[in-house]
Amino acid sequence: MIERYTLPEMGRVWSDQHKYELWCRVETLVLESHAAAGRVPGDVVEPVRNAPPPTPERVAEIEETTQHDVIAFLTAWADNTEPRSAAAYVHHGMTSSDLLDTALAVQLTDATDVLLAKADRLVAALRDHGLAHRSTIRVGRTHGVHAEPVVWGHRVADLAFAAARSRDRLRAAREAVGVVAISGAVGTYSLIDPAVETTVAEALGLRPADASTQVVLRDGISEWVSALAIIATVCEAIALEVRHGQRTEVRELSEAFGSGQKGSSAMPHKKNPIRSERIAGLARVVRAAIVPVMEGIPLWHERDISHSSTERVFLPDAAITTDYLLHLTAGLVENLVVDADRMRANLESTGGLIYTSSVLLELVEGGLSREDAYALVQTAAMETWNSGTPFRETLRARATSSGVTLDEARLEEICRPEQYVANLGPLFDRLAALS
pLDDT in tens, 348-377: 999 999 999 999 999 999 999 999 999 999
Domains and their CATH numbers in the chain: 1-92 (1.10.275.10), 95-256+267-345 (1.20.200.10), 351-421 (1.10.40)
Give me the count of residues in the chain.
435
Catalytic residue among 143, 259, 265, 301: 143
Overall average pLDDT of the 314-324 stretch: 97
Catalytic residue among 264, 349, 357, 387: 264
Considering the entire predicted model, what is its pTM? 0.94
CB 56 within 8 A of CB 16: yes
Question: CA 381 from chain center: how many Å?
Answer: 42
Could you give the C-alpha distances from 161 to 24, 165, 284, 325, in angstroms and in order? 41, 6, 22, 18
CB 296 within 8 A of CB 311: yes
Pairing of strands 179-180, 207-208: parallel
pLDDT tens across 236-272, in order? 999 999 999 999 999 999 999 888 889 888 998 989 9
DSSP conformation class of 389: -
Which residue, among 366, 340, 347, 349, has the nearest Cα to 416 in the 3D structure?
Answer: 347
Whether pLDDT at 181 is above 80: yes
pLDDT band with cut points at 50, 70 and 90 for residue 152: very high
Helix (H) or strand (E) holding 265: none
Whether pLDDT at 48 is above 80: yes
pLDDT at residue 433, rounded to an integer: 98
Which residue, among 147, 132, 140, 151, has the nearest Cα to 418 in the 3D structure?
Answer: 151
Q: Output the average pLDDT for the chain.
A: 96
Q: Is 264 a catalytic residue?
A: yes
pLDDT tens across 329-349, in order? 999 999 999 999 999 999 999
pLDDT tens across 131-149, in order? 999 999 999 999 999 999 9
pLDDT band with cut points at 50, 70 and 90 for residue 234: very high
pLDDT at residue 13, rounded to an integer: 97
- Going through 247-334 in order, the beta strands assigned E by DSSP cover 253-254
Whether pLDDT at 1 is above 90: no
pLDDT at residue 244, rounded to an integer: 97
pLDDT at residue 358, rounded to an integer: 96
Question: CA 88 from chain center: how many Å?
Answer: 44
pLDDT at residue 265, rounded to an integer: 87
pLDDT tens across 70-92, in order? 999 999 999 999 999 999 999 99
Q: Is 143 a catalytic residue?
A: yes
Question: What span, in angstroms and rounded, lies between the C-alpha atoms of 38 and 58?
Answer: 33
142-162 per-residue burial string, b: 16 or more CB within 10 A, e: under 16: eeeeeebbbbbbbbbbbbbbb
pLDDT at residue 264, rounded to an integer: 86
**Exposed / middle / buried, residue 83 (Cβ in 10 Å: 0-12, 13-18, 19+):** exposed
pLDDT at residue 214, rounded to an integer: 84
DSSP conformation class of 258: -
